[in-house]
Structure 1
């Protein structure tokens, strides 16, 4: 009986050892590689390039005063809509001492000259009435008197402009009232009441009171890499994707490509402009960050596959075609075949030669 029990135990030990070796051998065997199957399909393939930049108004002006002074009233704020000629600020004149002295000196000189011409004319008139001088000579003195009076009037008007910002001779012109030269939206107002402002002159750009832009005519201004610029042409249709509103797609037309590149961070880039057609109901703000997507080439209804299925080796392209049954996933067999590819959009690539729509091709590994 004991002999039978020992035999059974040794048999069980033997079976356990055999099973252990089998299990270890099984674990050491590589699992079969299974790949997804890809079928070529007809698609529309677009080759695109992207330029980055910002939106800005085509017409944008900085409103500046014609005189130096202090802001007494600001009549607009950023975001306000203004019309051409609308008042945006009032200024109190602070006369420049050199200009004031020059204006006072001009008045005194003109008054002295007028008094002198008046005496000459009075004397000439008495002689003319006695018939001593001719009519022609008398008219010459009369003309000089009129010129002297006009000179004094002009000097007094210049003094009023220096001290008050306007003169009675200028009529409706008042340089203490700053108006907008165009209709549009106020983008910014960098001054406030009490701020000192300077007039525009040949020595100074003057102080900006506000910036007005016509946001009904918007331009995209951006830059594109030198490797892409050769594929662009003026008149190409462009799609603008706004960083602040990703769901909004704004159509635009490329209208300018810079003939000269500029270096940015070691890369040469070219400036491009595109005229945007803002859809109704979309509120565009100046300075929005934008990606401009330009379709440089498009093929419609062409045979294509996932670009991940194509293997590139030097200047050649290859795919792996399934030679075994599509239903048998445990032992997939492939053959490597060369293909000729066309354009790619980064996801799908056009297949010109090498495969057809019925071929099962190797995709990504599961």
Structure 2
């Protein structure tokens, strides 16, 4: 019985030792690397640069009053369409007391002068009718009387302007009614009824009552880096991608490149402008941020490979192509063309039948995929 246990123990020890040796052998055995392969294919390659910016109206007009005062009534809100000469606000004038006092004094003096000139003219007219005085003396009195009447009218108008901003003779033409100077949409009304406003003059721009713009005449304003600005020119087609409008893309034509750049965050940026081509019933709100894709070069139906497969050696580029033996590769020099950042054009060195070495893959996954295909 003891012999049986000894033999059984020896067999178990030999089995354990043999299993350990086999395990260590299989563990130390190197598994060959497996790489995926990709064939060159025909595709279009577009090399482009991207400019960031926003879409804004070509012209934004600030409507500024011609008199100072208080907003008595507002007739528009943001989003309204207005026509040229349409009334958008009414201003109540608060007259300056010094100017008001001077105007009232001028009117009183003009009345006194007019009354005195009338008395003199009436006397001279009676004498002229009796042929006591000459026509020259009569004419002189009449001119003086007419001049005093004009001065009285001017003083009355001046007082009306200071008080009300409008004269009796020109009741339809008044500075108290603020009118739009262009056709367009009201973008912003920064004031409210009761706010004080200042007229436009040589010392300041005045208080803007509202901003009006033609929303059918939009432009893209963006910036291009100095490394790309030499590759673009006026007249190039641009494709706009607006972040707030994901589904639609808008066409534009580059029409302006700044002759002078500005430094921003250590880089020189050049401003560009492009005319946005809107389709019928398309509407873009002012201030939308957008990316402009500017096509620098385009080639159709050329042989390409993923740019990540390309390798470099000094000034040359090459790829590794699979030989007749699977998973065995050889170096092959190639010549390249333009790249779009994903695919690169191959002008010489490859055909569509070649298999180019790609990334390393897990052999287990390869076997699993082969089983699934089987």
TM-score for the superposition, normalised by structure 1: 0.89
CA distance in 1, matches of 2:226, 2:196: 46
Deviation, 1:272, is 0.5
1:28-79 CA-to-partner distances (Å, cap 9, x unmatched) read 3443322221111111100111111111111221112121111122221111
1:362 is aligned to 357
Kept in 1, the 8 Å contact 2:321–2:354? The answer is yes
Question: Aligned in 2, Cα 1:13/1:96: closer, same or farther, shift over 3 Å?
Answer: same
Moved more, 120-129 or 246-255: 120-129
Could you say what secondary structure the match of 2:36 adopts? strand
CA distance in 1, matches of 2:353, 2:240: 38
Deviation, 1:232, is 0.9
Kept in 2, the 8 Å contact 1:343–1:349? The answer is yes
Moved more, 106-115 or 38-47: 106-115
Deviation, 1:83, is 1.8
Question: Aligned in 2, Cα 1:171/1:74: closer, same or farther, shift over 3 Å?
Answer: closer
Could you say what secondary structure the match of 1:52 adopts? strand
Count of aligned residue pairs for this structure pair: 360
1:100 matched to 2:95? The reply is: no
Deviation, 1:262, is 0.9
Deviation, 1:170, is 2.3
CA distance in 1, matches of 2:359, 2:113: 100
- The unaligned stretches of length 5 or more in structure 1 are none
CA distance in 2, matches of 1:73, 1:198: 16
Deviation, 1:80, is 1.5
Could you say what secondary structure the match of 2:238 adopts? strand
Moved more, 25-34 or 163-172: 25-34
Deviation, 1:255, is 0.6
Could you say what secondary structure the match of 1:170 adopts? coil
1:222 matched to 2:235? The reply is: no
**CA-based RMSD:** 2.6
Question: Aligned in 2, Cα 1:363/1:158: closer, same or farther, shift over 3 Å?
Answer: farther
Kept in 1, the 8 Å contact 2:215–2:283? The answer is no
Question: Aligned in 2, Cα 1:44/1:120: closer, same or farther, shift over 3 Å?
Answer: farther
CA distance in 1, matches of 2:299, 2:290: 26
CA distance in 2, matches of 1:25, 1:140: 137
TM-score for the superposition, normalised by structure 2: 0.87
Deviation, 1:153, is 2.0
1:301 is aligned to 301
Moved more, 13-22 or 344-353: 13-22
CA distance in 2, matches of 1:126, 1:221: 79
CA distance in 2, matches of 1:360, 1:174: 83
Could you say what secondary structure the match of 1:260 adopts? coil
- The unaligned stretches of length 5 or more in structure 2 are 362-374
Kept in 1, the 8 Å contact 2:63–2:208? The answer is yes
1:296-351 CA-to-partner distances (Å, cap 9, x unmatched) read 111111111101111234432221111144xx4xxx11112222111111111111
Kept in 2, the 8 Å contact 1:308–1:364? The answer is no
Moved more, 246-255 or 23-32: 23-32
